Amino acid sequence: MNLDFLQKLKALSWASPRTIAMGVTVVCSVVLLWWSLDLRLSLIAEAQSEMHSLFHLDQEIAFLRSGWPEADAAIVDQRVKQAEGRLLDGYDHLGRWLMKLTEEGGALGFNTKYRVEEKVSGSDKGGSGSQDLKGVQIVPVHLALQVPKIPVRSFEKYMRFLRGLGEDPIRVDIQQVTISGAGNGAQTMDLRLHVFMREEG
């Protein structure tokens, strides 16, 4: 056997289909293992990051609870319930409330007319100064009170009506008051109000 023949035989055995298949299998296995490890490592890192965030949130909650006595929490809860109790429960409640105002105005000697304007969401900026009232709608209402006869001491009656609005159990924000007439015998009073109603749906 000469050296030339041995080298040719070696070259042929290296390029055999079995050798090529084994090489491809090894390379594919290495690539698959690397991809699998890379994917799993990123998932593990993500899970660790989420656990870390949860741990910090738990610590913050525990800190807030330790600095928030139960008595204070009960007071805040009571105030929230009181505020919710001052909301109108839909348009039926609004209609009954407006009829009550009309009757109160009539008892003072006024012809009272009202107009309900387009509602706005409680989370809208501006208006009545409410910045973010979730689940609450602000309903603008225009009230017009007028003395049917020659006005006598009507200004005092207008003030009494306004005082009653301020003491009303329903939350009312007076936006604008315009009184027309001469002195104590004022003829008309226009009111722009915002009343607060639970959001429907």
Q: Which of 133, 136, 132, 92 is nearest to 116 (CA)?
A: 92
CA distance 97 to 51: 52
pLDDT digits (tens, 9 = 90+) for 99-127: 999 999 999 889 999 999 887 654 444 44
124: left (phi over 0), alpha (psi -120 to 50) or beta: beta
Q: According to the model, what pLDDT value does residue 166 have?
A: 86
Least confident of 40-49, 77-86, 170-179: 40-49
